[in-house]
Structure 1
Amino acid sequence: MSQVINQFALAVAKKFQRRLAFDARFFQPDWTTAAVAAVAAKGSPLPGICAFIDGTGQNLARPKGKDNQAAFYSGKDSKHTTRYQGVVAPNGVLGVPGYSDAHLDVGCRDLAYLNVLTPLGPRHDAYILEQSGLLDNLKRVWPEETPWCLLGDSAYPRSKRLVRPAKRDEGWTATTEALNAELGRLRIVIEWAFGASGYGVASRFEGVVDSRRMLVGERPVSAYMLTAVLLTNMIVCDDQSNPVAQYFGHKLAIPSLTEYMAPLSPSER
């Protein structure tokens, strides 16, 4: 049974990794305009925000071998872990920029996803963003003159296409503190997408966050996560509702399951 599950997860992840890494259908100008309007209607203090980005960790069982243990050990958390990058839209559909084939079956080979697409191990969120090519993909589909952007946390570098709260060493004032609080109120939705009770990826598919089962070197743990994200999105599309969409008043349409699973054209890949 374990081998059947492993092969299923690998097949699903490899087939749909591009859709989850960057689905250009949902960042075209018409879609982005509607997404920005949904965020603005919730009282966004900054213009142009259309989606939310953050890193999330997946705890692992202690790998075999000193090299593997060192590669996956996070001194900050005192755990073995790997990190992923999530981007959630105001309709609750989640992406994980950007997986590569090379990482999907890492659990089934000697260690010698997310970003080359998920970098293995406890990588910094800013590094994952750089390696994912996400901002380059947005540049490709967004007209230069638009103010559209993602909202991340203070771990990310500011840019034209990514805004974040101010840090205390960047000129802290009462106004800055109030702005940060408002941005935090919006940014919480990325945490819901991964962890909301009964709805988030980790809640629907508890096995992917059970470190005892995440055996790097024996199981394709990254493929498990990617498959869980895809299946969660499919459920969201079938239900036509989720906590994120509800928070934004369902002002950004959730695609139908047929629309979401439609084959991508070459220009959308």
Structure 2
Amino acid sequence: MLTTTTTRVLEPGELDSALAILDRDPVANAFVAARVQVAGLDPWRLGGEMWGWYADGRLESLCYAGANLVPVCAGPEAVRGFADRARRAGRRCSSIVGPAEPVAQLWSLLEPSWGPARDVRPHQPLMVTTAMPPDIVPDPLVRRIRRGEMDVIMPACVAMFTEEVGVSPLAGDGGLLYQARVAELVGTGRSFARVENGQVVFKAEIGAATPKACQIQGVWVAPEYRGRGLSETGMAAVLRYALGDVAPVASLYVNDFNTAARATYRRVGFHEVGAFMSVLF
């Protein structure tokens, strides 16, 4: 049987169909689902286009094409369709990120025209938990950052981003977009830190959030405070907020070479359920 396939930008009226696909894996799709649930499919509000891959007229897979290129529930045929579209459009994203298998295939198809990448992280364990650790007391000094504390949290955010990604988020536009994102997390009560004498010594954010799952990101301990157990008690505190106020499942993904962080996350109750891959430009 001959199957007719096509790839195109989704129309606003296809929102329910897109949400149904995102709901197939609420944890892995949390980043894209959170944006779509807030902004719908309008490219201006969404911050990018939502591409759909159709088989015999039926929407089967998605790909978010904004600052990140993120395949969603994409099998090999869908990935090829998205790669063809991305190649024609030219690279506009700063990274490709998502479940490891489709991202690896997507990058293999795009690398000849988009490469070389600045960094490729082929295996980033995706970890989840649904319960607080019974034997770790959450740090009582970890709290929500207030709207008037942007000057307190920003240096820690910049330090974390630079350490994690390898470039400063202040490059290019002077950090305007990054500062806006940090301000959004602070304003929605999803930025957490332990502050001592005006300095952030531990921080983390609840980034993507839907009613079914949320994603913890930006976990960082000031270098001079490392090795004191602040990451465990701090993560337990953030996890208490995440599971109590946001969603029944908390997730994160971590570089496979960061053995210390992976051990910390396991101690506070996370376990691996899959893997992401990131291609950084």
TM range (shorter): under 0.3
Compute the TM-score of the two structures, normalised by the length of structure 2.
0.25
Higher strand proportion, which one? 2
Q: Over alpha carbons, which structure has the higher Rg? A: 2
Compute the TM-score of the two structures, normalised by the length of structure 1.
0.26
Higher helix proportion, which one? 1
Higher relative contact order (CA 8 A, sep 6+): 1
